[in-house]
Amino acid sequence: MTERICRRLADLLSQALDPAERDAVRGDLAELQAPRGKAVREMAGLVVRRQAVLLKDWRLWLTVLGLIGPAGVLLNRMARGLIGTIDRQLRTYLTYDVPYRNGLTMPEEAIVFLCQLFVLVLSSWIAGMAAGALLRRAVWTAGALFVLVWIVLAIVSPMPNVWLPGGIVFILPVIWGMRQGVRFGAPAFGAAISIAAVMAAMIAVATWTSGWRQAGLEAWSEGALPGGANWQTRLLPFAVMSWPAWCMLAIASLRKSGVLSR
Amino acid sequence: MLGEFEYLLLSAAARLKEEAYGASIRQDIEGSTGRRCSVGALYTTLDRLESKGLIQTWMADATPQRGGRPKRMVRLTAKGVAAAADFYNAVEQASRGLSWSASRVAVKA
């Protein structure tokens, strides 16, 4: 059992290396008949050294400051908000045996939730893909930084019931996007246009439906709770959160026009 | 000037000649110095030496004892030989007249 875990762990770690180096190192460890635990340590040591060298690359820091930091914080907060909605419904139902009422019908509530969930998953996937395509060899460091954002937010602003599921809803699409970004690179112009179009449509729908909740709450409370934000204010977080999609579109169009090389 | 580990690696590669690759270099360094040589240190140093033009590396045949995986072969360039010789001369010059240098000669004698 332990041996199987060690073998899987060494295989997983070796994925962070270039294919040729991965084969050579695994061959060396097999030839030296290194015990499994030692093989894992050796592999981890090499991966850490390789990633540490990449810390000198300015592109990593640009991506961290421009993409992973802001997108990670916004996506994480939105994920926590969404999971918080489910948590509130469940706890109200389990405690008082009635659904949590906010002026929306259940189908309306479900539509608002699903729209926001779709925008969140798509934005997380695109943020991951952008990080994977831009950083390639430093993708493990980028992934670790996304997780770090999640952990720091959990410490700074603890929400015990939602931090884990909220993090999973945000981290899994990021990892999936990173894999795609590393494998296929930045999308070509046609794909980037399609992604941006889907994103724009979903943002429009999510902005519109998020107004239902506020209008419903105002009607339900007979004006005691004001409807609040206008559409521009509701649009802003979605637009900021989705900026990696516009960034990918800009890169694809610059490449198409020949300003940027591949 | 080379670093100590870079010199050890160049010396091992020079000694092993056609048989110089990751695992054999590691065994040679551990055998000759009695110190542990990690894969991480070995491969990052190989890259550094290659980028300085002191060695050439290439992927060679796989063998069954390696689980069918290829070897990263290593060969010193002329520049690498010169750099290793410079390092050795510098250490020898710097050690001249010192007690540990004399005691090593005495032990050998």
Task: Let me know: does B42 contact B25? Beta carbons within 8 Å.
Answer: yes
Q: Is the dihedral of CA A77, A207, A130, A261 positive or negative?
A: negative
Task: Let me know: does A261 contact A204? Beta carbons within 8 Å.
Answer: no
Closest partner residue to B40 among A31, A32, A45, by Cβ? A45
Residue B27 corresponds to which tokens in the numbers above? 């065994």
- Among chain B residues, CA nearest to A30: B66
| Angstrom distances, CA of residue A58 to CA of A132, A134, A135, A252, B82 | 15, 11, 10, 21, 34
Q: What is the pLDDT of residue B103?
A: 64
Give the separation between CA B21 and CA A178, rounded to whole angstroms.
Answer: 33
A49 touches chain B (CB under 8 A): yes
3-state secondary structure of A18: coil
Give the separation between CA A154 and CA A80, rounded to whole angstroms.
Answer: 10
Q: What is the pLDDT of residue B30?
A: 94
* CB contacts, 8 Å: A42 with chain B: 38-40
Tens of pLDDT along A87-131?
A: 888 888 888 888 777 777 778 888 888 888 888 899 899 988 888
One DSSP character per residue, A201-259 reads HHHHHHHHHHHHHHHHHHHHTTTSS-----HHHHHHHHHHHTHHHHHHHHHHHHHHTTS
Task: Let me know: does B52 contact B32? Beta carbons within 8 Å.
Answer: no
Which residues are bridge partners to B57 per DSSP? B74
Segment holding B69, helix H or strand E: strand B69-76
B62 touches chain A (CB under 8 A): yes
Q: What is the pLDDT of residue B105?
A: 54
Give the separation between CA A178 and CA A142, rounded to whole angstroms.
Answer: 9
Task: Let me know: does A24 contact B59? Beta carbons within 8 Å.
Answer: yes
A24 touches chain B (CB under 8 A): yes
* CB contacts, 8 Å: B65 with chain A: 30-31
Q: A85 CB contacts (<8 Å, ≥6 apart)?
A: A113
- Among chain B residues, CA nearest to A42: B39
Closest partner residue to B40 among A24, A30, A49, by Cβ? A49
Dmax over CA atoms of chain A, in Å, equals 76
The structure tokens 């990918």 sit at A248
Tens of pLDDT along A131-154?
A: 888 877 778 888 888 888 888 888
Please, which pLDDT band fits residue A228 given cuts at 50, 70 and 90?
low
> Min CA distance, A208 vs chain B (Å)?
53
Q: Which residue has the higher pLDDT, A222 or B57?
A: B57
Give the separation between CA B34 and CA B20, rounded to whole angstroms.
Answer: 19
Mean pLDDT of chain A: 83
- How many Cα atoms within 13 Å fall on the side-chain side of residue A224? 5
* Interval A62-85 mean pLDDT: 83
Is A24's CB within 8 Å of B62's CB?
A: no
Give the separation between CA B34 and CA A31, rounded to whole angstroms.
Answer: 20
| Angstrom distances, CA of residue A1 to CA of A19, A44, A218 | 27, 20, 58
* CB contacts, 8 Å: A32 with chain B: 23, 26-27
Residue A183 corresponds to which tokens in the numbers above? 């494998």
What's the DSSP call for residue A34? -
Closest partner residue to B22 among A28, A43, A50, by Cβ? A28
* Interval A44-53 mean pLDDT: 87
Which amino acid is present at A193? I
Tens of pLDDT along B20-79?
A: 999 999 999 999 999 999 999 999 999 999 999 999 999 987 778 788 889 999 999 999
Task: Let me know: does B10 contact B55? Beta carbons within 8 Å.
Answer: yes
Give the separation between CA A228 and CA A216, rounded to whole angstroms.
Answer: 11
Is the model's pLDDT at A160 over the cut of 80?
no
Task: Let me know: does A123 contact A196? Beta carbons within 8 Å.
Answer: no
What's the DSSP call for residue B96? T
